Amino acid sequence: MPKSIGVPTMGGVKASLIDYAYGAGGGLVYSLVSSLLGSEFIGSLASAAIAGSVIKGIRGETIATMLGFMGILSAMGGAQGTSTGISQGVM
């Protein structure tokens, strides 16, 4: 059963800020590696793996999982057809 919603505490705020900092650090590593390796599938895969391995523990696992999820969604979205604006009438 999930924990109930409560009043924010200084300890809870501190823990959330630490989690945010780890996420920002993982995002920074991902961005740097992605700029070196490219943002195609292999570059995205390597970037997520490296960012997840730089941040140790469950936070790193979470970062790698989230980046993998986002990478697959991005790759699938890129494969879908797009409109080229050819719907204009012919004169």
pLDDT in tens, 37-74: 887 778 888 888 898 899 889 998 988 888 888 877 77
Q: Residue 30's CB: how many other CB atoms inside 10 A?
A: 24
Please check the confidence at residue 2 and state whether its pLDDT lies above 80: no
Quote the number of domains for the chain. Answer: 1
Whether residue 69 lies inside any domain: the answer is: yes
Query: Which token pair is 64?
Result: 């790698």
Whether residue 84 lies inside any domain: the answer is: no
pLDDT: is 13 or 1 the higher one?
Answer: 13
Whether residue 30 lies inside any domain: the answer is: yes
Q: Residue 65's CB: how many other CB atoms inside 10 A?
A: 12
DSSP 44: H
Return mean pLDDT, the chain.
Answer: 81
Whether residue 3 lies inside any domain: the answer is: no
Q: Residue 14's CB: how many other CB atoms inside 10 A?
A: 10
Please check the confidence at residue 25 and state whether its pLDDT lies above 80: yes
pLDDT: is 78 or 77 the higher one?
Answer: 77
Query: Domain of 40?
Result: 13-76
Coil, strand or helix at 73: helix
Q: What is the pTM of this model?
A: 0.68
Query: Which token pair is 60?
Result: 């790193």
